[in-house]
Amino acid sequence: MSNAQRLHHELETALLSLNKVATRRIYKDSGLTPTEFAEEYFMPVLDLIGAKWERGEVALSQIYVSGRICESLLNELLPSDGPELKKTPNIAVAVLEDSHLLGKRLLCSVLRAGGYKITDFGQQHLESLVIRVQSEKIRILLVSTLMLSSALRVKELRRRLDTLGLKVKLVVGGAPFRFDEQLWQEVGADATSPTASGAIAIVQRLSREVHGENI
Ligand code: B12
Residue pLDDT, tens place only, 125-183: 999 999 999 999 999 999 999 999 999 999 999 999 999 999 999 999 999 999 999 99
In this structure, the answer to whether residues 57 and 143 fall within a common structural domain is: no
In this structure, the answer to whether residues 170 and 128 fall within a common structural domain is: yes
Please, are residues 166 and 158 in contact by the beta-carbon 8 Å criterion? no
Distance CA 151, CA 119 (A): 21
Ligand 1, atom 10, lies closest to the CA of 64
In this structure, the answer to whether residues 104 and 189 fall within a common structural domain is: yes
**What is the phi-psi region of residue 166: left when phi exceeds 0, alpha when psi lies from -120 to 50, beta otherwise?**
beta
Q: Structural domain tally of the chain? A: 2
Q: Domain range holding 167?
A: 91-214
Q: What residues line ligand 1, using a CB cutoff of 6 Å?
A: 38-39, 42-43, 46-47, 49-51, 53-54, 63-64, 67, 71, 98-103, 106-107, 142-144, 146-148, 171-175, 178, 192-193, 195-196, 198-199
Question: What is the rounded average pLDDT of the residues 201-213?
Answer: 90
Atom of ligand 1 nearest to the CA of 101: 9
The pLDDT value given to residue 57? 94
Tens-place pLDDT, residues 71-84: 888 888 887 666 66
pLDDT confidence of 106, banded at 50, 70, 90?
confident
Ligand 1, atom 66, lies closest to the CA of 147
What order do you get walking across the sheet with 119-124 strand by strand?
119-124, 91-96, 140-144, 169-173, 191-192
Give the distance (Å) from ligand 1 centre to CA of residue 208: 31
Q: Where are the alpha helices (DSSP H) in the chain?
A: 3-16, 20-30, 34-37, 43-54, 60-77, 102-113, 126-135, 148-163, 175-179, 183-186, 199-214
% of residues, the chain, pLDDT over 70: 97
Give the distance (Å) from ligand 1 centre to CA of residue 178: 11
The pLDDT of residue 44 is above 70: yes
Q: Which of 85, 90, 84 is nearest to 214 (CA)?
A: 90
Q: Is position 84 within any domain? A: no
Please, are residues 196 and 93 in contact by the beta-carbon 8 Å criterion? no
